[in-house]
Structure 1
Amino acid sequence: MQPDRQNAAGIGELIKLALVFIRRQYLVIIFATLLASAASLIYLRLVSPAYTAQVQVLFENPRAQFLQKQSLLSEPTVDVTQIETQLQIIKSQATAAAVIKQLTLADHPDFKEVRPLQSWLLGLLRRWRSAPSQGAQPTPPEQPSEATIANFLDRLSAGRVGYSHVIEIAFTSSDPALAADIANAIAKAYINDQLEAKFEATRTATSWLRERLRNLGEEALTAERAVEAYKSQNNIVSSGGKPIDEQQITELNTRLATARAQSSEATAKLSRYEALLAVDPAKPSSIGNLDAIGSDAMNSPIITSLRQQYLELARREAELSARVGRDHLAVVNIRNRLREFRVSILDEVKRLSEISRSEAELAKQRQQEIEKRLSVAIAQSRLTNSAELTIRDLESRAKSLRGLYDTFLQQYMGSAQQESFPISETRVIFPASAAQTKSKPKAKVVLSVGLLGGLALGLLLGFVRDVMDRVFRTSSQLEAALDLPCLSLVPILSLPRQQRSAARPQQTQEDSNQRILSSAPDIHRAVVGMPLSRYTEAIRSIKIAIDHSPAKTPNQVIGVTSALPNEGKTTIAASVAQLIGHSGKKVIIVDCDLRNPSLSARLVPKALDGIIEVMKGDRSLDEVVWRDPNTTLAVLPAVQRGRVLHSSELLSDGSICKLFDRLRQSYDYVIVDLPPLSPLVDVRVTAPLIDCYVLVVEWGRTKIDVVQHALHTAPTISDSLIGAVLNKTDIKAMARYDTHRSDYYDDSHYIRYGLSSS
C-alpha cells in the first residue's frame, strides 16, 4: 500500500504543478492560442478549395490456366515490393507526360502556374546535371515542360488500400470533373503501359527462343553423330558392355564369398580340435569338452560307443565309491579303465583333427584360386572401362541436348500462341467520379491544428518564460538560492484613500525647532495606523526573528540592507523601528546611507544636522536626534550638504564606533538603514558596528544571480545575516508560484483573526 500511496501522491503533485503553471502563464497560452486560431481562419479564407477524385485498380494475376502453363515468362509474385514498384510506375514522369499529352493539360491554369522557388530549384538542378560545355537542352514541342509535370505530380497520389492488392489513385484539382477524368486517364495509361511492356517482353523472348532452338538442334545432331562414330571406332555393338563381362565378375564375387565362409568355418573347427587335444588326457574334464567340437565328433560312431562305455564306468565308479570307498581295489580298477577310455577317445579326436586340417587347407587353396581369377577379371575390365565411360558420356550429352531442344520447342510454341491472347494483370474495379465535396482545405482539421498548435506554442512560450524568470518568487526559492532563512513575506501595502491623502502633512516651524516627528510620510507609519493588517503581521515576523536569533546572542544593533537600490530596505527599517517604538521599547533608527539618505529625506526633510556632524564633533547626539511624540521612536538623520566622496572611511572611523557604543547604552534597539550591497562598498565596513543584518529582496524584480554575487563579494556581511525578507510581495500571485503552501496565502485565514488583507 505504501508504494501505491507514494505514486498517487507523486501524480497528484504533478497535476498540481501543471495547474499552477497554467495559472501563472494563462495569458501567454491564451494569446498564442488565439493568434494561431486567427491564422487558421485567415488560411481558410485565402486558400482556394480543391477536389480529389479516386480510382481503384486491382493488381492481380488473372491469366488463364492453360496460358500459365505455356507462359514463357515467370509469373510475378504479388508482394509488398512488387506493389511498391507499381506505385512508383504510376507516379512516374512518363505516366504524367502521357496523360498531360492525352488530355492537353499543358495550358490548364492548375498546371501552368509555377512557384518561383520551385522554378529556381529546377533550373539550378538542370544546370548542375548538365556538362559545362553543353547548354540547356530545350524541351521538345510535343513534350510537356518539367514545371508542368512537377505540378501534375504534386497533385497525384497513389497508395495501397490496407493489406490488399488494390491500388488507389487520387488526383486533386480545382475542377472536380477534370480531377475525375485525369484519375481515370492515369489508370488507363498505367494498364496500357503494362500491356505494352508484356508484348515487348514476349516478342523479345520469342525471338531469342527461335535463335536458341536453331543452335540446340545443330548441337544435338552433332552429339548423336559423335556417339555413332565412337561406337564404330571401338567396335561397341551395344551399350550393354560386351567387352566387359560384368556377369562373370558378379559370379566370381559370389563364389569368393562362399569360399571365404567355408575357409573360416574349417579354420574355426580345427582350432576347437587343437584346444581339446591340448588338455591332459589323465583329467576327467578332457572328455567334457567334446560337445564344443561340433557335429563331426558327435556323429562319429566310435566316439559315441566309447563315450557311452565311459559314462557307464563312471556311474559304476560313483556307486562303488559310495558303498566301499574311493580307495577300494574295485574302484581303483574302474578308475584305470576310465583313463584308458579317455585315451582312446582322444586318439579318435586326433584322427578327426587331421581330417579337419586337410579340409581347412583345401578351402584356403580354393579361396586363393577364386581371388586370383577375380583379380584377372577386374584387371581386364579396367582396360576397357575408359571406352565405356566415353560412350556413356557421349550418349548422355546427346540425350540432354535432345531433351533441352524439345523443352524449348514447347516454350516457343506456347509463347507464339500467347502473343495472340493479350491480357493485363491489372484492371479498374472502381472508376473515378466527380467529387461533390472539397478535399482541402479541411476546415475542421485546419482549425484543430491551429488550436492545438497555438496551445502547444503557448505552453512552450510559457515554459520558456517560466525558465527565464530568474527572480525571487517564493520563500523556498530564496532559502535554496541564498542558504538563508526567509524571515517574512512583506506584502505590497495599499493605503486607504483617506490615509493616503493625509500621508504627507507639512512640518511646522515649531516641530522643526523641537525636532518632533509630526507624522511619518507614506507607509512608514503603517504599522501604527493599521496594527491589524497583514503588512504589520509581516513586520512582527521580522521583529521576532531578530529577538530569537539562533545565535543565542542579543541583537541590539540591526542593519537593514539590500542588493540593489529601490528594493524597500528603508521602508522595512522604518516599519520595524515604528513597531518596536509602538510596543514601548526605546528604539532609534540611524540613517547610514550617507550618499543617498532617503530615510532622512522622508522622515525629517527639515533636518539641518545629522550623523556626520555628530561624528565630526560639531553637534552633540541630543542636538540632532528627532523624536516621535506618539511612540518612543528616535531618528538620527544624515544630512547631505554636498557630494560625500569618502563615505566608507566615515563609516569605519573610530568616532562612529564611540557613537554606536553610546547608542547601545541609551536605547534598547538600534535600527540602521544601510546602503545597498552592489553599487557601494560602504556596508562591508560596518561589520564591527552591527550585531546582525537583515537582507531585503524585492519580490518579482531582483535577479537571483545579482543577490548571490552581492553576498559573495561581502563575506563578512553574509556571515552575520540572520535572514532575508521578500518585500513588495504580491500575495494574490503567490498561490501561482508556491504550490506547496498555496493555501497559506488565503485571506480567510487572516480575516478570521481580525486581520485585514492590506
Structure 2
Amino acid sequence: MLERATRLRAGEDQGFPDARSDQPHFSTAELAAFVRRYLGTIVLCTVAALAVAVLYVRTSVPMYTARAQLLIDPRSAQLFREQLREVDLSLDNAQVESEIAVIRSEAVVTRVIDALHLKSDPEFQGRKGRLGQLLAWIGWSDDDEPPTEYERSRLAVSAFEYSLDVRRVGLSHVIEVSMTLADPEKAARVVNATTDAYIREQLEARAEAARRGGDWLEERLVQLRDQMQLAARAVQQFKAEHNIVDVGTRGLLDDQRLSELNSQLVLARARTADARARLTRIEEILASGFPDAAVVEVLGNQVINGLRVRYLDAETREAELAKRYGRDHPAAANLRSEMQDFQRAMSQELQRIGETYKSDYEIAKAREESVDAELARLVRETAASRRAQIKLTELETSAQTYRRIYESFLQQFTESTQRQSFPIANTRVITEATKPLGKSYPRTGLVMALATLVGALGGVGLALVRHGLDRSVQAADQIRNEVGVECLGLVPRIVRGDDERRPWRNGGPLLAGVRRFVRTQPTSFLTEVEAFPFSRFSDALRGVKTSISIANHTKALRCIGITSSSPGEGKSTLASNLARLYAMGGVKVLLVDADVRNATLTRALAPQARGGLIEALRGVKPHDLIVVDAASGLHFMPVVCADPIAHSADLLGSECMTLLLEELRGSYDSILVDLPPLVPTVDARAVSPLLDAIVLIAEWGRTPVGAVASAMQSLGSARARVLGAVINKADARAVRAQQPEYTPYYP
C-alpha cells in the first residue's frame, strides 16, 4: 500500500526504525489526558444533572414513612396448644410469604379504609396510577363528573396498596409494615390500624374456621354414632347366635371351661397313676408273703400296727424261751403258733387294703375317662366356636374402629368449641409505628449522589462520543499507528507568562477556538525560541531539530521543506523558529519563503522587500535577494508577488528551482523551505521532489488523521522523501500527559 511505502521511505530509506511498535493503546497518562481534555464536558453534564436534581427535590412533595414490626411466632400459644394436643410446626418461607400476602390483601386494606374513613381523604383519592399522576401533573384530566362510591372505594384501595410496603426482615419471622404518606402522623396511624386489622382478621378467620369445623364435626359425629351402634349390635347378635360368651378379662367361656377341664384331666390322670402305683405295691407285698413290709398304708393302719406289736412281742419271748429251754419247749411252740396267727391276720388286713386300693384305682380310672371324654367334646365345640370367632373378630374390629373414630371426632369437636370461645393468633406486634421525624422521600443526599453519578457518567459518555467522532490528530501514536510515519515531535501552543499555567488568562479554549480560524500568527511568535529559550515550545522544537539531526547522520539532508495539509496549522511559525534554532547553534542556515499565495514569513520578517524567490527563479542572483537578520544571523529569502501567479506550481517545480537549490546548497549548511499547504494548491507537491526531505505539520485537535494520511499519500505519489510529521499547537496539558518527565525552567 501507499501508506506502507511512505512509511518505508520515511524510515528504512532514511535510517529510521519502523514507526509501528507493539505499544499499548491505552495508558494512565492517556486516560488522564482524556479527562483533562473533556473535563469541561463532564463538569457541565454533572452540573446539569445536579440542577435537575435540585429542581426535583425542591418541587417534590416530602413523604414520610412510618414502620411497624410483626412477629410470626408459632410458639405464642404453646400452652394452649399443648392442652389441645396440637402439633407445633415451624414456619417456612412459603408460610411467611403467605402472611405477607394476607397483610396486603384487600380484606385487610378495606377494613383499615373503613375504620379510618379514608374514602374521604384527598390523599387517597388522587392517585390513579402513574399515567393518571402524569396527566394530573401536566394539568390534563378527563374527570368531569364526581366519582361514584364504588370508584372512590377502588381509588382508596389503589392508593393504599401503592403506599403500603410489607416485607420480611432478613431470614427471620419478623414482618415490617410501612406506609409512606405526606402526613407523618397519618402514616403512623394507618400502619397501626393495618397491624390491628391484620391481627383481628387472623383471629376472626381462626374463629370462623373453628365454627365451620365444629358444624361439620357435629354432623359427622351423628353419623359415626349410628355406625358405631350398628357395629356393636352386630357383634352382640353374632355372639348370641353362636353361643359365644365373654367373661371379661378371662376371655371366652369356652376357653375358660376348656382350661378347667384340661386341669381336671391332668389331676385325674395323676390320681389314677397314684392309685395304680399303690395297688401294684400291695399286690407285690401280698405276692411276696411278707405282710410286715414297710409301706405307708401298713405303717398308718392301727390294726396291722397292733398285730405287729403283738407279733414282735411273741417273737421276743419265743426267742428267750428257745434260748433258755430250747425250741422244742411247749411254751416256745405255742408262741410260734401265735406268731403265725398274727401273720395270717396281717395278711388278711393287707388284702382288705388291696381291695380298697383296687376300688380307688377303678374309681380314678373311671373319673379320668369321664374328664377325657368331656374334654374331647368341648374341644370339638371350641373348634366350631373358633371358626365363628374369625367373623366375630372382624365385627369387633369394625366396631372398635368406629368407636375410635367417634372418640377422635368427639375430641376435635370439643377442641373446636374451645377455639371458638378462645381463639389465639400466632402473630403479635413487637414494634408499633410512631411519627417519623425525617422525610423518606425524596432522599436529598441519595438524589444528589445519584444525580452526580448519572451526570458524571453522562458526561463521560458524551466525552466518549465526542472522542470517538473526533478524528483529529492528538497524539504521536496516531501518527505512527494510523498514518505509518514517524512523529518528530509534539509542539505545544505558544503562551505567555502565567497564561501557560492559567490558560484562561489568555482566553483559554475560547481564544484557542478563535485562533483556529486565524491564518496568521503574531510577529513575536516567529522569534519565540529567541525570546523564550526555555519555554515548552522552545524545548519541544529542539526535540524536532534533534530528530532531523539524527536522520541527517544517516543521509545528508541539507534542503528540508516544511508544509502542512491545510492552511493555518502553524508551519510558518515552526519554520521560522526552527531556522533560528539552527542559527543559534552556529549553523549557516537559509530560510526560504516558498508560499507564493500567502507569504506569511515575508510580511513578518521582510515587509520592505522588493524581490525574492520569484526573481531568483527568473535569473536574478539569489545572494542579492537574501535578507540577513543581524541579531540572530538568520538568512531569509522572501517571496514578493505584486500580482497573483497562476502557474506557480510550474515555476516552483521547474529546472530553474533545481538549479537555484543546487546553488544555495553550496553556500549554506541547511536550507529550510516554507512550502505552501498541500490543500488547496499543488505548489508543495511540485517542489517536494527537489528537496532532500519533507516535514509535514499537523495541528493538534484540528487536523484530521485522514487529512494527514491524504497528505502523505499526495507526497508519496510525488515521490517526495517524507522525514516525518510534527504535531503543532498542542494543548499544554496534552504535552504534560505524553511527556510527564518534562520540567520547564520557566513557568
Q: Using the TM superposition, give the Cα deviation of residue 458 of structure 1 relative to its aligned residue in structure 2, in angstroms.
A: 3.0
Distance in 1, Cα, partners of 2:43 & 2:585: 50
- Please state whether the residue corresponding to 1:523 is helix, strand or coil: helix
Q: After superposition, where does 1:374-393 map in structure 2 within 5 Å?
A: none
Give, in whole Å, the separation in 2 of the partners of 1:233 and 1:731.
124
Q: Which position in structure 2 is the counterpart of 1:693?
A: 694
Matches for 1:432-443 after TM superposition, within 5 Å: 432-435=433-436, 437-441=437-441
1:205 equivalent in structure 2: 213
Partner residue, 2:740: 742
Residue 104 (structure 1) aligns with: 117
Rounded Cα–Cα distance in structure 1 between residues aligned with 2:240 and 2:610: 152
Q: Is the 8 A contact 1:106 1:144 kept in 2?
A: yes
Counterparts of 1:390 and 1:472, CA distance in 2? 109
Classify the secondary structure of the residue corresponding to 1:490: strand
Question: Which residue pairs with 1:181 in the alignment?
Answer: 189
2:581 is equivalent to residue 568 of structure 1: no
Kept in 1: contact 2:628–2:636 (CA 8 A): yes
Q: Tell me whether 1:634 sits opposite 2:636 in the alignment.
A: yes
Counterpart amino acid of 2:117? T
Per-residue Cα deviation, 1:170-205 (whole angstroms, up to 9, x for no partner): 333333433332222212211121122212222332
Cα distance in 1 for partners of 2:216, 2:642 equals 115
Identify the match of residue 77 of structure 2 among 56, 63, 69.
63
Which among 442, 458, 461 is matched to residue 459 of structure 2? 461
Equivalents in 2 of 1:690, 1:611: separation in Å?
15
Q: Give, in whole Å, the separation in 1 of the partners of 2:663 and 2:393.
A: 137
Cα deviation, 1:312-362, whole Å, max 9, x if unaligned, reads xxxxxxxxxxxxxxxxxxxxxxxxxxxxxxxxxxxxxxxxxxxxxxxxxxx
Q: Could you tell me whether the CA contact under 8 Å between 1:567 and 1:727 is conserved in 2?
A: yes
Helix, strand or coil at the partner of 2:554:
coil
Q: Percent identity?
A: 33
CA distance, structure 2, for counterparts of residue 236 and residue 709 of structure 1? 125
Q: 1:477 to 1:49 in 2, by over 3 A?
A: same
Secondary structure (helix, strand or coil) at the match of 2:636 reads strand
Residue aligned with 1:742, SS: coil
Name the SS of the counterpart of 1:697 in structure 2: strand
Shift in alpha-carbon separation, 1:534–1:199, aligned structure 2, 3 A? closer
Q: 1:100, 1:144 within 8 Å by CA — same for their partners in 2?
A: no
- Per-residue CA deviation, residues 265-323 of structure 1 (Å, 9 max, x unaligned), is xxxxxxxxxxxxxxxxxxxxxxxxxxxxxxxxxxxxxxxxxxxxxxxxxxxxxxxxxxx
Shift of 1:165: 3.4
Ranges in structure 2 where 5+ consecutive residues have no aligned partner = 1-25, 137-145, 255-385, 499-521
CA 1:190–1:23 in 2, change beyond 3 Å: closer, same or farther? same
Q: Quote how far apart the aligned CAs of 1:713 are.
A: 5.6
Partner residue of 1:159?
167
Whole-Å separation in 2 of the counterparts to 1:177 and 1:685? 89
Q: Distance in 2 between matches of 1:573 and 1:668?
A: 16
Whether the 8 Å contact between 2:492 and 2:729 is mirrored in structure 1 is yes
Q: Quick one: which amino acid aligns to residue 112 of structure 2?
A: V
> How far does residue 420 in structure 1 lie from its aligned partner after superposition?
2.1
Q: Which runs of 5+ in 1 are unaligned?
A: 1-12, 124-137, 243-384, 498-519, 752-756
Q: In the alignment, which residue of structure 2 is the partner of 1:150?
A: 158
TM-score (norm 2): 0.61
Deviation at 1:111, TM superposition (A): 1.9
Matched length: 551
Amino acid across the alignment from 2:445? L
Instruction: Give CA-to-partner distance per residue, 1:593-645, whole Å, 9 cap, x none.
Output: 44544444544556666656665xx543539834225235131526373373x
Contact 2:606–2:627 (CA under 8 A) maintained in structure 1: no
Letter aligned with residue 193 of structure 2: A
| Backbone CA RMSD of aligned residues | 4.8
Distance 1:106 1:726, change over 3 A: same
The Cα of 1:70 is off from its aligned counterpart by 3.7
Distance 1:234 1:624 in 2: 161
How far apart are 1:552 and its partner, in Å?
0.9
**Contact 1:625–1:637 (Cα < 8 Å) also in 2:** no
Greater RCO (CA < 8 Å, at least 6 residues apart): 2
Q: CA deviation at 1:694?
A: 1.4
With over 3 angstroms needed to count, the CA separation of the structure-2 counterparts of 1:203 and 1:680, relative to structure 1, is farther
Query: What corresponds to 2:674 in structure 1?
Result: 673
Q: 1:173 to 1:409 in 2, by over 3 A?
A: same
Q: How does 1:604-753 map to 2 (within 5 A)?
A: 604=606, 611=613, 618-622=618-622, 625-628=625-628, 630=630, 631=633, 633-637=635-639, 639=641, 641-642=643-644, 644=646, 651-677=652-678, 679=680, 682-712=683-713, 714-715=715-716, 720-731=721-732, 734-735=735-736, 737-738=737-738, 741-744=739-742, 746-747=743-744, 750=745
Q: Does residue 424 of the first structure (1) align with residue 438 of the second (2)?
A: no
> CA separation of 1:153/1:116 partners in 2, compared to 1, >3 Å: closer, same or farther?
closer
Contact kept in structure 2, 1:36 and 1:451, CA below 8 Å: no
Query: What secondary structure, in the 3-state scheme, does the structure 2 residue paired with 1:440 have?
Result: coil
CA contact (8 A) 2:48 2:455 kept: no
Shifted more, 212-221 versus 402-411: the winner is: 212-221
> Counterpart of 1:145 in 2: which secondary structure?
helix
Q: List aligned pairs for 1:147-546, cutoff 5 A.
A: 147-161=155-169, 163-217=171-225, 399-435=400-436, 437-441=437-441, 446-447=444-445, 449-451=447-449, 453-454=451-452, 457-458=455-456, 461-462=459-460, 464-465=462-463, 468-469=466-467, 470=470, 471-475=472-476, 478-479=479-480, 481-494=482-495, 521-528=523-530, 535-546=537-548
Q: Deviations over 1:20-76 (max 9, x none)?
A: 77666655565555555555554454344444433333322433645555478x766
Is the 2:166–2:176 Cα contact (8 Å) retained in structure 1? yes
Partner of 1:368: none
SS of equivalent residue, structure 2 residue 176: strand
Q: 1:50 to 1:710 in 2, by over 3 A?
A: same
8 Å CA contact 2:611–2:638 kept in 1: the answer is no
Distance 1:206 1:81, change over 3 A: same
Does the CA contact (< 8 Å) of 2:84 and 2:415 recur in 1?
Answer: yes
Comparing 106-115 and 559-568, the one that deviates more: 106-115
Instruction: Using the TM superposition, give the Cα deviation of residue 569 of structure 1 relative to its aligned residue in structure 2, in angstroms.
Output: 0.8
Q: Partners of 2:527 and 2:127 in 1: how far apart? A: 76
**1:568 offset after TM fit, Å?**
0.6
Contact 2:49 2:454 in 1 (8 A): no
Letter in 1 for 2:188: A
Rate the CA distance shift 1:170–1:714 in 2: closer, same or farther, 3 A: same
Who is 2:283 aligned against?
none
Shift of 1:86: 1.7
Cα displacement string for residues 709-735 of structure 1 (whole angstroms, at most 9, x for unaligned residues): 543565457983333323224446633
Closer/same/farther in 2, CA of residues 71 and 203 from structure 1, 3 Å limit: farther
Shift of 1:15: 8.5
Match of 1:81 among 91, 94, 103: 94
Report the residue type matching 2:725 in the other structure: A
* Cα pair 2:592 2:673 within 8 Å, conserved: yes
Alpha carbons of 1:542 and 1:625: their partners in 2 closer, same or farther (altered >3 Å)? farther
Q: Write the deviation string for residues 383-416 of structure 1: whole angstroms up to 9, x where unpaired.
A: xx99998887676555444433332232223223
TM-score of the aligned structures, taking structure 1 as reference length: 0.60
Deviation for aligned residue 1:147: 2.9
1:587-602 pair list within 5 angstroms = 587-602=589-604
One-letter amino acid of the counterpart of residue 175, structure 2: I
Give the whole-Å Cα distance in 2 for the aligned partners of 1:227 and 1:565: 125
CA distance in 2, matches of 1:14, 1:597: 42
Q: Which secondary structure state, in structure 1, belongs to the residue aligned with residue 428 of structure 2?
A: strand
Three-state SS of the structure 2 residue aligned to 1:694 is strand
Q: What is the one-letter code of the residue matched to 2:579?
A: A
Does the Cα contact within 8 Å between 2:70 and 2:427 map onto a contact in 1? yes
Q: 1 CA distance for matches of 2:408 and 2:556?
A: 118
Deviates more, 1:21-30 or 1:86-95: 21-30
